[in-house]
Amino acid sequence: MRGAVRTTVAVVLTAVMLFPVYWMINVSFTRDQDMRESPPHLFPTDGTLAGYRAVFDQQLPYLGTSLLVGLGTVALTVALAAPAGYALAKLRPVGGGALTFALLIAQMIPGIIMAMGFYAIYLNLGVLNTVPGLILADSTIAVPFGVLVFTAFMSGIPEELMQAAKVDGAGPLRTFWSVVLPVSRNSVVTVSLFAFLWAWSDFIFASTLDNGGDHRPITLGIYQYIGNNNQQWNAIMATAVVASVPATVLLVLAQRYIATGVTAGAVKD
């Protein structure tokens, strides 16, 4: 009896949480003139693909920019966070504890404060509304998180692996590249996933550092549909559906790596 109750509660809660996703898909197929029907249709009675046509006609450049920014953020985050995590976990430099504390503090700084700082700097450098500028800004959120994750994962790597590499003549850099990084593939996937999702869904940096140029991410592409006299809800929802596909695919593909312990690879390999 208890099992049935728990299952029922779980199904109801899941349905409540997923209802906005269903409604997003439903509205993306609904005609503009049917938007204000009362009561609203649970299914589009006269479905239309106008919203999706608008996506592919108008939003592809924004999707391309978001993809470039997301992949660039992943590359920069892993390139900076992985060696830093290795140093904190295995090399134990002087002041490592203070650096870890500083990273925790950095995680608490509101994004809008950092965005205003970046705006002043980018304005003087003339790099507002550029892909490299957005990559650097988004990385400031992902790198502290990545360093903390890599440090936690790499601290669990057996010291026997490190000693074996040292006996074979490998220095710290070779040990990191040939031993630590392959064993830490689960943490690499975890950090990469969150860095990509943060960059893909970013609106604060994108809107603050926007200077009316062509390099706008998909979040600003969705925002342009909203105005005082222009609310294309089917186009908005269709864009949101298309923009959700890469994130959904990545989450499905990466979930087993996130759930796997970092030392499992070392034992099995």
Phi/psi class of residue 43: alpha, beta or left (left: φ > 0; alpha: ψ in -120 to 50)? beta
pLDDT score of 199: 93
Contact in structure between 198 and 73 (CB atoms under 8 Å): yes
- pLDDT per position as a tens digit, 75-97: 999 999 999 999 998 888 888 88
Is residue 26 in some structural domain? no
Which domain range does residue 64 map to? 49-260
Is residue 17 in some structural domain? no
Contact in structure between 59 and 217 (CB atoms under 8 Å): no
pLDDT score of 213: 66
Predicted TM-score (pTM) of the model is: 0.84
Is residue 44 in some structural domain? no
Q: Specify the DSSP class assigned to residue 129.
A: T
Is residue 108 in some structural domain? yes
We report the CATH number of the domain holding residue 202 as 1.10.3720.10
Query: For the chain, how many structural domains are there in total?
Result: 1
Is residue 268 in some structural domain? no
> What is the SS3 assignment for 226?
strand
The stretches in the chain having pLDDT less than 70 are 1, 211-214, 227-231, 258-269
At 260, the amino acid letter reads T
Encoding tokens for residue 38? 């009362």
pLDDT score of 262: 38
237 Cβ contact list (under 8 Å, min separation 6): 24, 25, 27, 28, 51
Is residue 267 in some structural domain? no
Is residue 168 in some structural domain? yes
Distance (Å, whole) CA 227 – CA 223: 8
Contact in structure between 266 and 157 (CB atoms under 8 Å): yes
CA angle in degrees (0–180, nearest 5) for 153-157-159: 150
- pLDDT per position as a tens digit, 120-175: 999 898 888 889 999 999 999 999 999 999 998 888 888 888 888 888 888 888 88
pLDDT score of 227: 61
Give 35-41 contacts, CB < 8 A, sequence gap 24+.
35/233, 35/234
Strand pairing partners for 149? Answer: none
Contact in structure between 169 and 136 (CB atoms under 8 Å): no
Residue by residue, DSSP assigns 46-113 as T---HHHHHIIIIIHHHHHHHHHHHHHHHHHHHHHHHHHHHIIIII--TTHHHHHHHHHHHHHS-HHH
